[in-house]
């Protein structure tokens, strides 16, 4: 009965797995998804708790001397350029994009924080993508060649639409996705455009949360919490519809994978 509840393509994938792995795949996909969603919720709740602590302790007044206020907030073009540069670098090396979005909301407000947070994250995506495509192909392909093949097949259906879907999900590893896409045969521009569009919902939620540090904290924190729940539910529906669990899963190692396998994926062979 468990076997029949899964679609035929999913059952065909299970045939090639070790029996124990196949059983785990059939019985535990919701548990794995729940674990990823909880990671995203942990980031959100941590930031919300930080706001509450600052408000209750009175330490929010000290934010006037914080680094963001001293270097970015109300500093015009130079402050914006610094935010974009730092945000790009941080997301490129793996910092959660939600944190950059939160800081953007704090520095620029919910609306502009969404715009600049999305741009900073998209620039980080470009940097990591081209690092993998131009300089880090050997390392990424050697370590994650099977994952490269999977993301190549997933994004290859429609690079813009599939990139958009992955970014809308409140799960996954942003930096690893960029690295894998860089090594794959996916064209750059549709991937960047789809990623930028997909970043917007989560960026807005966390920019709204960040803007609540100074303005209407209770209202904005509540609104962002509700939006996060809605985003997570929509992400779950997309997960179920497109079966992206394998694509987003982060392996620690892939023993036995070699350069030749990963290189073949990049060349589309």
Q: Please give the structure tokens belonging to residue 94.
A: 């793996």
CA 234 from centre of chain = 15
179 within 8 A of 127, measured Cβ to Cβ = no
Cβ(84)–Cβ(115) under 8 Å?
Answer: no
Q: For 158-206, what is each residue's pLDDT tens digit?
A: 899 889 988 887 667 888 899 889 988 899 999 999 999 999 999 998 8
Measured between alpha carbons, how far is 167 from 175 in angstroms, rounded to an integer? 11
Instruction: Specify which of 102-116, 135-149, 207-221 reaches the highest per-range mean pLDDT.
Output: 102-116
What pTM, to 2 d.p., does this model score? 0.67
Cβ atoms of residues 105 and 227 within 8 Å: no
Domain spans in the chain, listed from the N-terminal domain onward: 35-267
Angle, vertex CA 213, rays to CA 208 and CA 218, nearest 5:
75
Sign of dihedral through CA atoms 253, 254, 259, 263? negative
Average pLDDT over residues 141-168: 84
pLDDT at 223: 77
Range in 36-45, 136-145, 188-197, 232-241 with the lowest mean pLDDT: 36-45
Most confident of 186-190, 214-218, 227-231, 244-248: 186-190
User: How buried is residue 32: exposed, middle or buried, by Cβ count under 10 Å (0-12/13-18/19+)?
Assistant: middle
At a CB cut-off of 8 Å and minimum separation 6, what does 116 contact?
A: 80, 83, 84, 87, 104, 108
């Amino acid at each position: 009965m468990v076997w029949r509840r899964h679609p035929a393509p999913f059952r065909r994938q299970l045939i090639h797995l070790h029996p124990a792995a196949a059983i785990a795949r059939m019985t535990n996909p919701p548990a794995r998804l729940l674990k990823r969603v909880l990671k995203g919720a942990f980031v959100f709740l941590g930031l919300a708790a930080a706001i509450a602590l600052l408000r209750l302790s009175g330490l929010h007044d000290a934010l006037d001397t914080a680094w963001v206020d001293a270097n970015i907030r109300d500093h015009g073009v130079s402050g914006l350029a610094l935010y974009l540069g730092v945000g790009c670098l941080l997301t490129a090396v793996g910092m959660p994009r939600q944190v950059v979005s939160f800081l953007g909301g704090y520095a620029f407000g919910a609306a502009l924080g969404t715009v600049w947070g999305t741009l900073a994250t998209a620039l980080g995506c470009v940097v990591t993508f081209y690092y993998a495509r131009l300089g880090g192909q050997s390392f990424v392909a050697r370590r994650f060649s099977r994952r490269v093949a999977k993301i190549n097949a997933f994004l290859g259906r429609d690079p813009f639409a599939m990139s958009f879907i992955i970014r809308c999900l409140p799960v996954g590893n942003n930096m690893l996705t960029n690295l894998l896409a860089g090594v794959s045969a996916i064209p750059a521009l549709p991937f960047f455009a789809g990623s930028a569009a997909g970043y917007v919902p989560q960026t807005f939620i966390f920019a709204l949360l960040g803007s609540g540090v100074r303005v209407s904290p209770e209202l904005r924190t509540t609104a962002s919490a509700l939006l996060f729940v809605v985003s997570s539910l929509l992400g779950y529906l997309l997960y179920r519809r497109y079966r992206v669990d394998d694509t987003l899963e982060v392996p620690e190692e892939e023993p036995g994978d070699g350069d030749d396998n990963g290189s073949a994926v990049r060349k589309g062979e």
